[in-house]
Each structure stands twice: as C-alpha cells, then as structure tokens.
Chains A and B, each alone.
Chain A
C-alpha cells in the first residue's frame, strides 16, 4: 500500500493524520454545509446579514414548504418535469445501447470498430456544434418547449457513452454461454434477452446511476430547447427562480438542496455501482 499505512507510523503521526483528515473534510464540504444551514435560516438572519454564524432560528418546514408550495413557486413543477425527463431517457438510452453494445461486442461484421469509435467520439463533441440543427429539427417537429424533446434528445445523446460502456462490458463476458445458447437453437434476440441481459445486470445498474446524474444535471439543453415553465427541468428552473427570490438566500439554498438531492441520494444508495461505472477503464492497461 502507498503511502505507508498510517497504522505503521508513530502514535502522534496517527493523531495528526486524523485531525488533518477531519479538517480537510470540513473545508472540502464547506460549500455544502453552508447551503444546508442557510436553507433552514429564518428571514431575521438574512436581513441581519447572519449568513455564516449559528442560525438564530430553524425554519426547515417553513422554507422547504415555501419552495415546494405550488401557489408560491413553480419548483414542484420543475421537480416533476425533471423526473419525467430523466427516467424515460435513462431507460431508453440503456435499452438501445445494450442492443447496440451486444452486436458491437459479439458479431463480427465490417465497420464495427468504426461504428464503435463513432459512438465514443459523438459522446465527447461540444454541445454547441449540435445546438442549431437540433433546435431547428425540434422546431420543425413542433416539439420545442416540450418534455418530449428533452427526453428524445437525452436518450439519443447518452447512447454514445452507454454503448461504449456496455460494449466493453459485454466483450469481456465468456463467449461459451452465447455459443451454447445458439447451439440449442436460440435466436440472437433470445440470446440477448435470456443470456446477455441477466449477465450485464451489474453494468446496467452502474450505467443507470451515471446516466441519471448526467441527465438530471443537464442545464444546456434545458436552456436551449425550453422556453416556459411547462417543460422546464429543475436546473434551469432554479436559475430562473433566482431572480424572483433575489436575496432570499434561504429560499435559494433550499431550492438548491432540492435540485441536488436526487442525484446525491442515487449516488449514496448505489455508491459501489456508481464508482464502478465511473472508473471502469481507469484500472485497465
């Protein structure tokens, strides 16, 4: 293990390490702690300019209630929009990519490396090179400013990364299982659904969490494809509400917490899968 394991060092060093660890952690998370605390501050603190001291009152329910009250702010609407965009986009992107990944990994046909490279490259292009044509296309389909446009676009775009990811995972599976299913007369669809899908379940979980955070956190496409509240997801909504709430930093903070929390929950619940997904390839070579 590198660096030298701390338990092999002297007692004082171990204590210093512990203290340094917690201090660094506190500093690292200071921005998060600050918005969590501010999100439960009362207006008195905000008016008095007490942003960084101990709160004089705790208004958890009032602040979050205010943010989530449909009569007072469209935040609930934005939240639901984000859910309605994210879940189908993640599902379809994974489904189509699993199929593409299967054939790219298993079948030997001409141009397969080229296709594979194309999915990877597409995943990295700047959004701006897609912006005008994609916007025009949705305008022609009369889908600008709809949830459907965002669902379709995110599905399409995430296919790049998802196919890259799943192809690599499937390519590492033992081919013998596929061969024996074929000998028993299974069609390729049969092999895919009955042999491949059960085997790649862990990869699907990893990918699902990653794509969830990618799509949930999108801001650019919300900004360019949506104009009104009816299709605005929470990232763009939060930015829009910032003007309305102006200096009510307790409300902005509460809104930020709500916008951030779904990806944070997904991450902490499925941490192992998330990190496995994110670091795949990093340890190869």
Chain B
C-alpha cells in the first residue's frame, strides 16, 4: 500500500515537472517582457499622456508618424547605424586574423584587445565625446598639428551620427573579434593543410577555406551586431541627446523622448512598435536557425 502511494507521488511529480520548473522563469518573463509587448501595441492605438484615461484613436498615431520629418530622420539614421555597424564583423575578422599567432604574451594581448567590450557605453560615450571636443580633445590636437581648424564633430549635423557610430564600433569590433578568434583556434588544422597543398594561400585561402569554416561565428557576429545597431540608445543619449537639431535621432531615442518628455505615450508606443517590427525580421532569422539546429 505504502509502495503504491510512493509510486503515484513519483509519477505525479514527474508529470508536473515542466510546470513547476518553468513557473518562476515563465511568470517573470511573461509579466515583464511578453505581456508588455502586447500592451505597447494596444497603447499605440490610443492617445495617452501616461495619466488618466486612454482615448482610442485607431491608426492615427501611425498616420502621423509616417508624415513626421523626425521619424524620417530617425529611420534614415537607423539605416546608417545598421549598415555601418556591419564594419564591426569585418574589422573583427581582420583583427582576429592578425592576432591568431603564437607569439609570447599573445594571450594577454588578446584579452586587452577584447576588453573595450566589457566597459559600459556611458563611459565609452564620455570618452569619445571628449575625444571629439573641439577645444580639448585629441582629435582637435591632431587637427592643429596639421595646421587645420578642428571640426566640432558632435555639433555638426552632417557628421554627428557618424561620430556616435564610430564610438560604438570600438566595443562591437572587439566582440566580433573574440567570436572569430574562438572560431579560428578551434578550426580543423587538416583542412587548412589540405588547402595549402592544393595551392591556396592568402586571399583565396581566406575566402575558400577559412571563411566557410567560420560560418557559425559570422552568423552570430552579424545577427548580434544588427540587433545591437537597431537597439542603439545609450551612446546617443550620452553623446548628443539626439542633437544637433534632432539629426542624430534614431527610433529608440525618439520613442524615449516622445513618451517621457512630451508625454505622448500612444505616439511613443507606435514608434516602439515600428522598431519592434523591424527587429522581428532579424529575430525570426536567428530563431529559424536555432530551431532548425534543434530539429536537424
């Protein structure tokens, strides 16, 4: 009899295991990540100051958004970020190839190359703002060295965005570099030797033998860089606050301003929804590969 209840208890706890093992993680994730997405979409169909009642306005926020010049600037900047940040995987690959040697002290050198990635973007933003400062920055010193008038990069409406992107390329390249270094060190040496015997070297070797083996690293480097580029917020907040005259704005920062400074939660939410939809494309791309690995 006792044996029987014990057996039943064991079966029950086994059958219910997914429920109680998942409960805390799922509840937290659902309340603070999943449900807020649904709520934001709902809010985007309303006019709301953040206090009091919401007024249903249908697609009015989206209609206004598509005609808003700030939105066009932000979108264009998001595209600039997306394209230029892809220099990070490329740069990371070349730095990794350069560092993939067995000289003395290389381990320390590799980690020194990597560590910008660990530093928070507030500090990186401060450092680069200071670099670009036309009165006391290093860039200004270099300009003066050549007898040129320093350019106030972050105050220049045509250059400011590129200045901010450059600051972000620094840690992102470090990250891509480490992905490629790991890929290079775990690479099949026999394939490389076989390639050498077949007469491949230099570029042809890189293109035909090495890069195909680095597919996994490239995939992660590109996906993470693209998602990071679309998420860019911190550096803009620190370095330019969207200025000069809104020319460095991106969707993420515009959303923050509209919601928390102009108290237009509905309008802000509609910007967030657009950003979310754009990112969903890349997230889906990543998920497909993960799920395929799972099944295959």
Could you list which residues of chain A lie within 8 angstroms of chain B, going by C-beta atoms? Answer: 1-7, 17-18, 21, 24-25, 28-32, 34-35, 49, 51-52, 96-97, 99-100, 102-104, 107, 109, 112-113, 115-122, 124-134, 136-137, 152-153, 155-157, 159-160, 163, 185, 187-189, 192, 213, 216-217, 219-220, 223-224, 235-236, 238-239, 242, 247, 249, 252, 256, 259-260, 263-264, 266-268, 271, 275, 278-279, 281-285
Q: How far is the CB of B58 from chain A (nearest CB, A)?
A: 18
**Chain A residues whose CB sits within 8 angstroms of the CB of B98 once the complex forms:** 21, 24
**Contact present for B33 and A284 (CB under 8 Å):** no
Shortest B9–chain A CB gap in Å is: 8
Q: Which of the residues B43, B120, B265 comes within 8 Å of A219, measured between beta carbons? A: B120
Query: Which B residues lie within 8 Å of A125 (CB)?
Result: 33, 37, 276, 279, 283
Q: Which A residue sits closest to B253, measured CB to CB?
A: A128
Extra 7 A-B pairs, beta carbons < 8 Å, given A17-B101, A96-B24, A157-B32: A100-B26, A116-B294, A128-B233, A159-B29, A223-B237, A239-B122, A284-B293
Q: CA A52 – CA B22 in complex, angstroms? A: 55
Establish whether residues B183 and A283, one from each chain, have CB atoms under 8 Å apart when the complex forms.
Answer: yes
Subset of 13 A-B contacts with CB under 8 Å: A2-B205, A28-B112, A31-B124, A34-B138, A116-B294, A117-B291, A129-B40, A159-B29, A192-B21, A223-B256, A256-B126, A256-B127, A278-B178
Judged by a CB distance under 8 angstroms, whether B79 is at the interface is no
The docked-state distance in angstroms from the alpha carbon of A183 to that of B184 is: 43
Contact partner of A3 (CB less than 8 A), chosen from B100, B131, B259, is B100
Measured between C-beta atoms, what is the minimum distance from A124 to chain B in Å?
A: 5
Q: Point out which of A29, A120, A128, A155 has the most chain B C-beta atoms below 10 A from its C-beta.
A: A128
- The answer to whether B25 touches A131 (Cβ under 8 A) is no
Query: Whole-angstrom distance between the alpha carbons of A131 and B123 in the complex?
Result: 23
Cβ–Cβ contact A279 & B178, under 8 A: yes
Contact A188 B175 (CB under 8 A): no
Q: How far is the CB of A280 from chain B (nearest CB, A)?
A: 9
Separation in Å of the B29 CB from the closest CB of chain A? 5
Partner of A187, one of B13, B119, B120, B269: B13
Specify which chain A residues have a CB less than 8 angstroms from the CB of B141 in the assembled complex: 52
Tell me whether chain B's interface is mostly helix, strand or loop, or mixed: helix
Give the complex CA separation of A121 and B281 in angstroms: 11
Q: Are A29 and B178 closer than 8 Å at their CB atoms?
A: no
Q: Are B115 and A128 in contact (CB under 8 A)?
A: no
Given contacts A21-B103, A126-B252, A260-B120, contact A134 B272 (CB under 8 A): no
Which residues of A sit under 8 angstroms from B273, Cβ to Cβ? 129
For B39, B120, B216, B275, the residue with the greatest tally of chain A CB atoms inside 10 Å of its CB is B120
- Would B118 and A133 count as touching, CB distance under 8 A? no
B170 on interface, CB distance cutoff 8 Å:
yes
Residues of A within 8 A of B156 (CB): none
B118 touches A188 (CB 8 A): no
List, in ascending order, chain A residues with CB within 8 A of B293's CB.
284-285
Chain A residues with Cβ below 8 Å from B130 are 34, 249, 252
In the complex with contacts A132-B40, A235-B120, A124-B216 CB distance below 8 A: no
B121 at interface (Cβ–Cβ under 8 A)? yes
Q: Report if A100-B22 is in contact (Cβ < 8 Å); known contacts: A156-B31, A242-B126.
A: yes
Check A264/B10 contact, CB under 8 A, given A126-B230, A129-B40, A283-B186.
Answer: no
Map CB proximity to A onto B228-262 as digits: 1 under 8 Å, 0 otherwise. 00110110011000000000000110011001100
Cross-chain contact A281 with B103 (CB below 8 angstroms): no
Inter-chain contact A129/B275, CB cutoff 8 Å: yes
Minimum C-beta distance from B71 to chain A (A): 14
Q: Assess whether A131 is in contact with B287, with CB atoms less than 8 Å apart.
A: no
Q: Is the CB of B123 within 8 A of A2?
A: no
Closest 8 CB pairs of A and B: A217-B120, A156-B32, A133-B36, A103-B21, A100-B25, A133-B39, A156-B28, A128-B272
Residues of A within 8 A of B13 (CB): 187-189
A132-B269 contact given A97-B25, A125-B33, A188-B21, CB 8 Å threshold: yes
Q: Is B84 an interface residue (CB 8 A)?
A: no
Report if B153 contacts A (CB, 8 A): no
CB of B281, distance to nearest CB on chain A (Å): 11
B165 an interface residue at 8 Å Cβ cutoff?
no
| Chain A residues near B283 (CB-CB < 8 A) | 121, 124-125
